[in-house]
Structure 1
């Protein structure tokens, strides 16, 4: 589970107020079940979702720039495409400078920069939300900024929205990685890591976008960030309280040997990184999958961790996914970027359509991290409720139920859980839910972290392409 930041609590209150007059109708409608009974955890919404349309379809478009031809196109201002086994983009020559006062350290420094702007990506279906993600190497004294330059369906342009300022490190030469609050133009807003249309029933949607990548370094330095993958998932998920259960398929009986780590045994550790425990579901899940791929921090990298703490790799993950503005480790793109700091790993944030998509990936040997919220009564065997929680799907039982490595467990040995397929599919894919107080809260609509090798096998490549990741 992850503690919502204050601004998300404010948003949840606003959504609840807006929905108050519709709550009774929503509860009685066939699409919305009555409020379940039973104990639950905090119910402030962990994520904002702006649903769109009444269609049963769920348009999702992930597009990534990752090949040498990708980096050759677009607009370069001082950047150069980098050929090789893992193509990317780097600083060739500085074309600008920025005096940046880090809001989290108070330090003002001058940085030189170069930028690359992607070609226009026209969204196949106008989108109500967009989440960018990236994979990069940032040596000490370098960082990157990712911006969204969008066009609405009415032909007007969005502001240049900052989707993240990111660096892998947190040393004295580095900025503090951060999301940026208070970005809005009255039509759309940025909620930590997510672009969202403010009112999908009245306002225009997102028709197309470009991503602008700016690479920064100390003036006179020859260091440079290297960005291997830049992409975005644009979607317009219909408002839904339930989803039809998918039929068990290709991954029935397949379980991947994903390591098991509990977040709860870290409760109270490192308050400066949100205090462990329920706040660390995201880095704990990320750590499991990173280690599944045979990667992870070295003993030297983890030497800062108190030696009395078990599983120091989880503490490492929390420290290096921490968003200093969000004041937590639950920034989705920051987790994907952290995974990709390990040799030959990629990380993508996307939405999947159903557990059929997850089965394709599991069958190819790729575990999936999912984001969901639920009351304790809505997921048999969990024993808790949550306003936002990450866990790893490691496989499926022969009957098609979920084998979940759920970090919200009392010990590493208790992390493996079996959850009913239909229940899990609903709590993960829905965009609206009835919370413990009888009001309406939001759901993530199928958000997933997908981590995979930089050079996937042919079978893995086919599975990734089948769920829209190329």
Structure 2
């Protein structure tokens, strides 16, 4: 779930749902590099969808929170509507359907979540569905995901079996998946994982979200952490800056914040959630990265030790964290929800980050203490270890 940042927040999201899952069941492009078997399940729907309804059923480990995410391409004038229902076990009665989101890969200002829905057994908060276990009859074990092509102007449907939408053009569903899990433990129960003893330092271009200019109708810079982090990662992966051809140069060594508005604002427009009026929607961020030609997924890790394995294999991770100035004084600001990049570890085990929330670009590349960072990231007050994993396709 996503909320507006507080006035003093240096981040972009508040109090998010939490996941204690360890690792996504990955495609060939997303090797788990020896991580433990996931404590949750996922499934994939792929194929072509036109103006009809297409559905997939997921059988998952018992869960109380669900975040669908996807790679769907849409033409101008048509959006993909994502709907969901759940049941406590096979053969049991399902909840009513909820329409979670409308996604457009082609038009800024069209994508939107449909928050604050409450049907029997399910409650939505932007990108996250929470299972009301008393109403549903237990944790969810069966999830139906549905994709429907709709004209962008159509009002979201509520009926159980919507008719084919008139006027919708063909959309391409490359895949749709869901991150599921139980609630994460509180900060007080998080202890630092043992470091792996490796010194890993992936150097990305440095951009402060506060240097990204103004964009009328798209909030303020303090809510742009996620698209700023996305831009840094995608430029690092391609070796080019957004909108410029600088192949053959090291983007990490070019002047920090150079042309930051032109580089980051396309991402702000691409991930914008109209109803929420923010850029921190987890599903929209990975969907937009997929539209840009990358392979992007949501994942949830159990510790920094697991992150170290992915870092050693050449990945960087965009992580969702929450902290006060007392809990992480090295950051220099408090946040009730923020995205930053885990870009390495020191030999002693502390965390190298590229933090777009820092006020100046010279502070974007920095190091945070391991235990404080894990509490900010892995706890229920944080995000339960949620990350974006983005790789070249």
Same fold by TM-score greater than 0.5: yes
Length-normalised TM-score, structure 2: 0.80
Q: Closer, same or farther in 2 for the Cα pair 1:312/1:443, shift >3 Å?
A: same
Measured at CA, do residues 157 and 199 of structure 1 come closer, stay the same or move farther in structure 2, by a change above 3 Å? closer
User: For residues 184 and 273 of structure 1, what CA distance do their matches in structure 2 show?
Assistant: 28
Provide the C-alpha distance between the structure 2 equivalents of 1:446 and 1:420, rounded to a whole number of angstroms.
16
Aligned position for 2:269: 319
CA contact (8 A) 1:401 1:418 kept: yes
For the 8 Å contact 2:82–2:99, the answer to whether it is kept is: yes
- Residue matched to 2:162: none
CA distance in 1, matches of 2:54, 2:60: 20
Point out which structure has higher relative CO (alpha carbons under 8 A, 6+ apart).
Answer: 2
Asked whether the equivalents of residues 128 and 200 of structure 1 are also in contact (C-alpha less than 8 Å), the reply is no
Instruction: Name the CA distance, whole Å, in 1 between partners of 2:299 and 2:14.
Output: 17
User: Equivalent residues in 2 for 1:64-103 (5 A)?
Assistant: 64-65=43-44, 71=46, 89-91=47-49
* Aligned-residue RMSD, C-alpha: 3.3
Q: Aligned partners of 1:297 and 1:116: how far apart in 2?
A: 34
Aligned length: 350
- For 1:212-231, what per-residue CA distance to the aligned partner results, in whole angstroms no more than 9, with x for missing partners? 11234699989532222210
Distance in 1, Cα, partners of 2:125 & 2:39: 19
Per-residue deviation, 1:247: 1.1
Contact 2:95/2:136 (8 A) holds in 1: no
Partner residue in 2 for 1:189: 123
Whether the 8 Å CA contact 1:374–1:387 is kept in 2: the answer is yes
Query: How many angstroms apart in 2 are the aligned matches of 1:393 and 1:209?
Result: 31
Contact 1:380 1:419 in 2 (8 A): no
Q: 1:265 to 1:42 in 2, by over 3 A?
A: closer
Cα gap change, 1:177/1:201 in structure 2, threshold over 3 Å: closer, same or farther? closer
1:84 alignment partner in structure 2 = none
Name the residue aligned to 1:144.
80
Equivalent positions of 1:202-241 (< 5 A) are 204-216=138-150, 224-241=170-187
Q: Which residue of 1 aligns with 2:228?
A: 284
> Is the CA contact (8 Å cut-off) linking 2:104 and 2:110 kept in structure 1?
yes
Tell me whether 1:122 sits opposite 2:59 in the alignment. yes
- Residue 404 of structure 1 aligns to a residue whose secondary structure is strand
Give the distance between the partners of 2:237 and 2:10, measured in 1 at CA.
Answer: 34
- Give per-residue Cα distances to partners, 1:79-131, cap 9 Å, x unaligned: xxxxxxxxxx223xx5xxxxxxxxxxxxxxxxxx123211x32212x101010
Aligned twin of 1:423: 372
Contact 1:216 1:225 in 2 (8 A): no
Asked if the contact 2:77–2:168 (Cα under 8 Å) also holds between the matched residues in 1, the reply is: no
Q: Secondary structure at the match of 1:168?
A: coil
Q: Which moved more, 1:178-187 or 1:202-211?
A: 202-211
Choose 319-328 or 241-250, whichever is displaced more: 241-250
Consecutive unaligned residues of structure 2, counting only runs of 5 or more, are 21-35, 153-164, 246-257
1:385 offset after TM fit, Å? Answer: 0.8
- Tell me if the contact between 1:378 and 1:423 (Cα under 8 Å) persists in the aligned partners: yes
Q: Give the counterpart of 1:161 among 98, 102, 127.
A: 98
The answer to whether the aligner puts 1:257 opposite 2:196 as a matched pair is no
**Within the alignment, does 1:131 sit opposite 2:67 as a pair?**
yes
Question: d(CA) in 1 for partners of 2:166 and 2:64?
Answer: 42
1:434 paired residue number: none
**TM superposition shift of 1:358:** 1.0
Deviation track 1:160-210 (CA, whole Å, cap 9, x = no partner) reads 122211002326xxx711000231125320110001124679962111112
- 3-state secondary structure, aligned to 1:381: helix
Cα shift readout 1:118-153 (whole Å, capped 9, x = no counterpart)? 1x32212x1010101011222323321111121125
Q: Secondary structure at the match of 1:358?
A: helix
Note if 1:246 corresponds to 2:193: yes
Larger radius of gyration: 1
For structure 1, which runs of at least 5 residues remain unmatched after alignment?
10-39, 72-88, 95-112, 301-307, 432-441, 455-470
